[in-house]
């Protein structure tokens, strides 16, 4: 095994959505700063937008919405547990980012007069900007990256962060999943943007890679941030999505809603007023599925031929372009058939819910010099555009941070310990295969963590997770590719344990289905109007505590506060 040594000023781990923007913004602002963009896959086609995106879910465009309106809506959708300053930092930069992407060649939907054609999908305001030709977005970003001379290293799986003696970031360690090389990277600042923990629960299909998220997003960043001592937040606020059954991709309400599509139960009746993804919406969805009114379907069969063709033109060419192929195989035609939906397995994701590495409005984590952005950070409902803006924010702050900093000293003992951890499964003569252990772990996640959350189940789950942790000592990898899967398995296990412990800690119910605790069914603002934080303390132990919600920039009225609890259409309410 060879060891490679790399050195840079600003290391970006994750080349999906936030990463490219951070790289671009850093080089635009400071052409002499060395920027290294690392990806587990290939930056050209990596991350959540590998095949583009079909809409901006949270555009804050003058004339349609104001930052204040947007911040209020996201606050309400998250039952009040947000840092409004962090949401606002996105909102005030949203329009500039859209204009810049537009100038680079990203295609957004416009009306006859050339204005952005914003649609209303959220419960209160209008923020959805369709991208019917959004399949080219990675190509557009890649062109900018090349133009600005960003260094890229593909097929490197980062496994641990390195800290200097003063607690400041020093770099990262990585495995080359092609050559098996061990890579030591020194950097003056590091941005983690490795996406959601999308390989946490097991899809109902049983297929390990049949996930909603790009399966390369295994939760590596959550695990790396945790082991570096950074605070993580909201890990009990799970990501659960309403998806096309078995295909496990979005249906997608944001695309079909503005065209007149909507969700119905088995009786063909609407049961939710808004298809915008929130815990409250998922709660109603779950009640419908479990309460005898299911299955739940996406209904498009009432739409005109021309409209259906438009929908197909978006859904079957961007984001998840195999949707059409899946429907074809099942003889589902939007013109005649309803599309069966279901509830996904659980994941952790800041971009869609609110579970991630804690950052402030400068994208700073609690570790000096370490930043987080995109689905990995806990800025709620940030989606694609929020990831890009937070990439920008992180780059701008990191440039200031490194201005007066030398590279921190490397911790030789930590490097050697990590080398040993990584290569043990390759050197072992025989043992358990990573796929088998991953299957078992993720099945246990389904069995014990899928809401409704039950205390006794989560406690059993923690026992099973501990046993699987012991099994990691018996894993066998036959090549560097399988070794990458082993490293991911460590991260998935960390995420499972963190999610269980954070869920047990918050003894109330909040965010609809995302944190519905059967033993504590009521929301309890008196005790729990706070973030739940997790971190690894100086003794190497997991510490869980609350962090107060910062004072609001835009206080809510009582009526606003309850807007999202009132999402069900009452005449189909079940006798609960």
Partner 1 sequence: MNTNETQFAVSIMVDHDKCIADKGCRICIDVCPTDILTLDDEGKIRMSYDECWYCLPCEHDCPTKAIRVEIPYLLR
Positions that interact with partner 1 (CB under 8 A) = 41-42, 44-46, 50-51, 154-155, 177-178, 205-211, 214-216, 246-248, 320-322, 325-326, 329-330, 433, 435-436, 439, 481, 484
Q: Which residues contact 329 (CB under 8 A, 6 or more apart)?
A: none
Based on CB atoms, which residue is closest to partner 1, 211 or 392?
211
Least spacing, CB of residue 430 vs partner 1, in Å: 14
Least spacing, CB of residue 541 vs partner 1, in Å: 34
Based on CB atoms, which residue is closest to partner 1, 205 or 307?
205
Based on CB atoms, which residue is closest to partner 1, 110 or 325?
325
Least spacing, CB of residue 198 vs partner 1, in Å: 10
Based on CB atoms, which residue is closest to partner 1, 50 or 121?
50
Based on CB atoms, which residue is closest to partner 1, 44 or 523?
44
Least spacing, CB of residue 456 vs partner 1, in Å: 27
Least spacing, CB of residue 438 vs partner 1, in Å: 8
* 3-class DSSP assignment, residue 341: strand
CA angle 534, 468, 422 (to 5 degrees): 80
Count of all residues that appear for the chain in the document: 576
Closest CA to 481 of 520, 412, 538, 433: 433
How far is residue 571's CA from residue 441's CA, in Å, rounded to a whole number? Answer: 41
Least spacing, CB of residue 531 vs partner 1, in Å: 32
- Token digits for 476? 């066998």
Based on CB atoms, which residue is closest to partner 1, 476 or 561?
476
Closest CA to 270 of 573, 510, 497, 41: 573
Q: Please write down the HEC assignment for all residues of 16-56.
A: CCHHHHHHHHHHHHCCCCCEEEECCCCHHHCCCCCCCCCEE
Based on CB atoms, which residue is closest to partner 1, 171 or 347?
347
Crossing angle (nearest 10°) for helices 455-471 and 434-449: 170
DSSP one-letter string for 45-110: G-STTTT--SEESS---TTT--HHHHHHHHHHHTTT-S-HHHHHHHHHHHHHHHHHHHHHT----B
How are beta strands 169-176 and 182-186 bridged, if at all? antiparallel
Instruction: Give the full edge-to-edge strand order of the sheet including 530-536.
Output: 356-357, 232-233, 530-536, 542-548
Closest CA to 353 of 233, 485, 266: 233
Based on CB atoms, which residue is closest to partner 1, 14 or 512?
14
298 CA to centre of own chain: 24
Closest CA to 359 of 498, 239, 233: 233
Least spacing, CB of residue 341 vs partner 1, in Å: 15
DSSP one-letter string for 303-336: S-HHHHHHHHHHHTTSSSTTHHHHHHHTT--TTT
Least spacing, CB of residue 548 vs partner 1, in Å: 39
Q: Which residues contact 167 (CB under 8 A, 6 or more apart)?
A: 229, 367, 368
Least spacing, CB of residue 177 vs partner 1, in Å: 6
Least spacing, CB of residue 435 vs partner 1, in Å: 5
Based on CB atoms, which residue is closest to partner 1, 322 or 507?
322
Based on CB atoms, which residue is closest to partner 1, 213 or 231?
213
Q: Is the distance from CB of 288 to CB of 296 less than 8 angstroms? A: yes
Q: Is the distance from CB of 405 to CB of 456 less than 8 angstroms? A: no
Least spacing, CB of residue 481 vs partner 1, in Å: 6
Based on CB atoms, which residue is closest to partner 1, 209 or 545?
209
How far is residue 349's CA from residue 240's CA, in Å, rounded to a whole number? Answer: 9
């Amino acid at each position: 095994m060879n060891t490679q040594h790399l050195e840079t000023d600003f290391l970006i781990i994750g080349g999906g959505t936030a990463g490219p923007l951070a790289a671009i913004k850093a080089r635009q602002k400071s052409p002499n700063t060395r920027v290294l963009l690392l990806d587990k896959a290939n930056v050209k086609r990596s991350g959540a937008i590998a095949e583009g995106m079909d809409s901006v879910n949270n555009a804050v465009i003058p004339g349609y919405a104001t930052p204040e309106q947007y911040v209020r809506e996201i606050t309400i959708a998250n039952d009040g547990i947000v840092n409004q300053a962090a949401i606002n930092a996105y909102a005030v930069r949203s329009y500039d980012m859209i204009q810049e992407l537009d100038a680079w060649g990203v295609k957004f939907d416009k009306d006859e007069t050339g204005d952005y054609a914003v649609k209303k999908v959220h419960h209160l305001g209008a923020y959805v900007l369709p991208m019917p030709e959004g399949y080219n977005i990675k190509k557009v970003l890649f062109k900018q990256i090349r133009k600005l001379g960003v260094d890229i290293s593909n097929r490197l799986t980062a496994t641990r962060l390195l800290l200097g003696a003063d607690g400041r970031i020093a770099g990262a360690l990585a495995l080359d999943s092609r050559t098996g090389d061990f890579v030591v990277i020194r950097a003056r600042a590091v941005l983690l943007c490795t996406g959601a923990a999308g390989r946490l629960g097991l899809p109902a299909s049983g297929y390990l890679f049949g996930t909603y998220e790009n399966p390369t997003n295994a939760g590596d960043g959550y695990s790396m941030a945790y082991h570096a001592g950074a605070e993580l937040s909201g890990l009990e606020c799970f990501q659960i999505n309403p998806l096309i059954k078995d295909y496990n991709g979005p249906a997608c309400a944001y695309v079909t809603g503005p065209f007149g599509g909507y969700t119905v139960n088995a009786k063909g009746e609407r049961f939710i007023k808004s298809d915008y993804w929130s815990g409250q919406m998922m709660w109603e969805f779950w009640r419908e599925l479990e309460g005898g009114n299911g299955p739940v379907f996406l209904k498009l069969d009432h739409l005109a031929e021309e409209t259906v063709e438009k929908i197909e033109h978006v859904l079957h060419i961007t984001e998840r372009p195999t949707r059409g192929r899946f429907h074809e195989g099942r003889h589902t035609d939007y013109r005649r058939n309803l599309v069966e939906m279901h509830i996904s397995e659980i994941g952790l994701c800041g971009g869609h819910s609110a579970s991630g590495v804690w950052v402030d409005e400068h994208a700073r984590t609690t570790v000096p010099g370490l930043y987080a952005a995109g689905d990995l950070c806990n800025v709620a409902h940030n989606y694609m555009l929020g990831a890009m803006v937070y990439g920008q924010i992180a780059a701008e702050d990191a440039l200031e941070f490194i201005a007066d900093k030398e590279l921190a000293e490397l911790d030789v003992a930590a490097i050697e310990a990590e080398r040993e951890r990584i290569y043990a499964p390759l050197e072992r003569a025989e043992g358990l295969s990573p796929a088998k252990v991953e299957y078992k772990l993720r099945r246990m996640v389904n069995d014990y963590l899928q809401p409704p959350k039950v205390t006794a189940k989560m406690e059993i789950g923690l026992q099973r997770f501990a046993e699987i942790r012991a099994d990691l000592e018996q894993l066998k990898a036959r090549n560097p590719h399988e070794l990458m899967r082993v490293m991911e398995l460590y991260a998935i296990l960390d995420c499972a344990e963190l999610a269980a412990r954070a869920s047990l800690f918050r003894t109330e119910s909040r965010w609809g289905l995302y944190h519905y605790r059967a033993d504590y069914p009521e929301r309890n603002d008196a005790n729990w109007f706070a973030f739940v934080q997790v971190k690894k303390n100086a003794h190497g132990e997991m510490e869980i505590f609350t962090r107060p919600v910062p004072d609001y920039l835009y206080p809510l009225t009582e009526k606003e506060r309850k807007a999202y609890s009132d999402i069900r259409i009452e005449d189909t309410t079940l006798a609960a």
